[in-house]
Amino acid sequence: MKLATWNVNSLNVRLPHVLNWLEANPVDVLCLQELKQPDDKFPLDAFIERGYQACWAGQKTYNGVAIISRQAGTDIQRNIPGYEDPQQRIIATTLPGIGSVDELRVISAYCPNGQAVGSDKYAYKLDWYAALRDWLATELRRHPHLVILGDYNVAPADEDVHDPQAWEGDILVSAPERAALQSLFDLGLADTFRLFDQAPQSFSWWDYRRFAFRRNAGVRIDHVLSSPQLTARCTACVIDKTPRAWEKPSDHAPVIASFELT
């Protein structure tokens, strides 16, 4: 089973890319972030025509998340329960499992950017992460087979940053942000990318400016995290840089994780 995550930076603009990518990469599940469109603009028919189901949480202009999947999901949850937030950053659903895995809990997450260390948005980011951690602790007790895919807006370590010295202490890499992401790892969730040998300088986001993609001046902030029982069955995790080189690309690349479910 293959699951992918992709921050598309406007599904309105990027739908052709998403459909082309899905045709070349017929994953079982695709989690999207930054739809930047209200619920009634979600292009459900385009996915249905290609054999997919979908659930989504949209918002005008900003944020917005979706889960595209072969099988229809149940138990759909929008946002973090009990955490009042007009920003649409979380959608979760339960998919039918395969073999001894009776069901799979899938979460698509768009974690706050934080803008600048010490800003109001930075405080919101850390607060949001604390709420996410607490909710995930509950979710993991309910769902032993859980995977949370998305844009975490945190580069876990210096090896995930093209120029760690230039970025030191900055947004996406500051110690409190890394501690917030670590608090998810401390729940038993694994960064599946690091389960395997990877090329050095592997990134998932590159600034639109200053030819950052051409120079591979990026950071790795999009991750697939899996619960222990799924981590044991994870067989690969790769970043697909291909669509980042297309015309009018998203600034993020998709990340794909594979699991052997029998």
Partner DNA sequence: ATGGCTAACATGGTTAGA
Catalytic residue set: 110, 151
Q: Which stretch binds DNA (CB under 7 A): 6-14, 19-27, 135-143, 190-198?
A: 6-14
Residue 63 CA to chain centroid, in angstroms? 12
| Nearer to DNA among residue 89 and residue 133 (C-beta) | 89
Question: With binding defined as CB under 7 A, does residue 58 bind DNA?
Answer: no
Q: How far is CA 164 from CA 105, 168, 183, in A?
A: 34, 6, 22
Question: With binding defined as CB under 7 A, does residue 17 bind DNA?
Answer: no
Question: With binding defined as CB under 7 A, does residue 205 bind DNA?
Answer: yes
Tell me the three state secondary structure of residue 63: coil
How many residues are there in the chain? 262
Q: Are 231 and 101 in contact (CB under 8 A)?
A: no
* Spatial separation of the C-alpha atoms in residues 205 and 251, rounded to whole Å: 6
| Nearer to DNA among residue 38 and residue 81 (C-beta) | 38
Rg of the chain in Å (alpha carbons):
17
Question: With binding defined as CB under 7 A, does residue 196 bind DNA?
Answer: no
Question: With binding defined as CB under 7 A, does residue 262 bind DNA?
Answer: no
Question: Which ranges in the chain belong to alpha helices (H)?
Answer: 11-24, 44-49, 120-142, 164-167, 175-185, 228-231
Q: Rounded to the nearest whole angstrom, what is the least distance from the CB of residue 24 to DNA in the complex?
A: 20
Question: With binding defined as CB under 7 A, does residue 177 bind DNA?
Answer: no
Q: Which H or E run includes 3? A: strand 2-7
Question: With binding defined as CB under 7 A, does residue 20 bind DNA?
Answer: no
Residues that bind DNA (CB under 7 A): 7, 9-10, 12-13, 34, 36-37, 60-62, 112-113, 115-116, 121, 151, 153, 171-172, 205, 207-210, 219, 221, 248, 251-252
